[in-house]
Amino acid sequence: GAVVSQHPSRVICKSGTSVKIECRSLDFQATTMFWYRQFPKQSLMLMATSNEGSKATYEQGVEKDKFLINHASLTLSTLTVTSAHPEDSSFYICSACRDVSYEQYFGPGTRLTVT
């Protein structure tokens, strides 16, 4: 149990376009999901907390207009990178939080390359 999926696993997009990444909790409900960004050989950097039915909470320094987060249901959160630039190229990881235990379960990540 406690499986989290992300789609797509890899995406290449052109500069100026938008790309959407989906995060799904497959076998449990998650009121809260998290989005992280990870640069090569570095730790996970929390970008935002996604709350079902309400606006996401962004960490300091993260552009909320560039990284749009929607938590439409108890099993799905999406991250849309708008007007992507090459510097947005990175590995994006989501996690879903079990409501009862607060344990976080991680998705397999999405590698975004902006050309």
Partner 1 sequence: AQTVTQSQPEMSVQEAETVTLSCTYDTSESDYYLFWYKQPPSRQMILVIRQEAYKQQNATENRFSVNFQKAAKSFSLKISDSQLGDAAMYFCAYRSQGAQKLVFGQGTRLTINP
Kindly list the residues in this chain that would bind partner 1 in the complex (CB under 8 A): 32, 34, 38, 41-44, 46, 49, 91, 93, 95, 97, 102-104, 106, 108-109
In angstroms, the Cα distances linking 14 to 64, 72, 80, 81, 92 are 21, 27, 14, 12, 17
**Nearest distance from residue 33's CB to partner 1, in Å?**
10
Least distance from partner 1 to the Cβ atom of residue 14, Å:
24
Closest among 38, 77, 84 to 54, alpha carbons compared:
77
Least separation in angstroms between residue 13's CB and partner 1 is 20
- The pair of three-digit structure tokens given for residue 85, joined into one six-digit string: 């630039």
Question: Measured from the CB atom, is 43 or 54 closer to partner 1?
Answer: 43
